[in-house]
Structure formats: structure tokens, C-alpha cells
Amino acid sequence: GQQLNQSPQSMFIQEGEDVSMNCTSSSIFNTWLWYKQEPGEGPVLLIALYKAGELTSNGRLTAQFGITRKDSFLNISASIPSDVGIYFCAGQTQGGSEKLVFGKGTKLTVNP
């Protein structure tokens, strides 16, 4: 099935460091979303982006919708132990309740 290209696959960082991950696609998406999944849980929406070039923040998280509409990145500043989890990007051609196309995820480990 269709998946987005997400990198890096995994990251091991020290508490307090900043983190950056990105997602690319061969297709255009009109909505980009970033989710976090913890063990035994479903994905939880962190940030949604609806417009090319848009930069949106949610606390220590910042995400951008690429100008070509084929990429997006997520930054986490001053990481803390509870940031541990798997981060997924997802795209939609229209948005809302339309099907989500996911990346393979970035597994983040934060050493205290």
C-alpha cells in the first residue's frame, strides 16, 4: 500500500536536545498531520497543517507544510523523557475524515 517516506527511522537523544524529523511524498497532499503513538495506544494527533508553507506550533512542537505540498517536517525542542514514542506523519489529499496515508514512523528514545 501507499506510504510516505519518513526519516530518520529512529533517534536516540539526550534530554534537553532538539529533535527534527521529516516526511516526503511523490504525490501532493493538501493536508499534513503528525501523530504520536505510545505502546498499547492508538495514534494521537499532535499537529495538523492545511496550507502550503504553513508553520504551526503546539507547545514545544513545531511543524511545517512544505511549499511543494510534497513534504513536511516536525521539530521538538528541549526534549523530555515523556517525548518517547513513535512519531508518524500522515497526508490527506482533501482532509477531514478522508483516508490517511501514513509514513513508517520515527522511533524516539530520550535518555534522561
Partner 1 sequence: ETGVTQSPTHLIKTRGQQVTLRCSSQSGHNTVSWYQQALGQGPQFIFQYYREEENGRGNFPPRFSGLQFPNYSSELNVNALELDDSALYLCASSLAGDTQYFGPGTRLTVL
Number of residues lying near partner 1 (CB under 8 A): 25
Residue 3 Cα to chain centre, angstroms: 13
99 makes contact with partner 1 (CB under 8 A): yes
> Which range in 13-21, 42-50, 56-64, 70-78 contacts partner 1 by CB under 8 A?
42-50
Verify binding: residue 26, partner 1, rule CB under 8 A: no
Q: Which parts of this chain interact with partner 1 (CB under 8 A)? A: 1, 3-4, 6, 35, 40-45, 48, 88, 90, 95-105
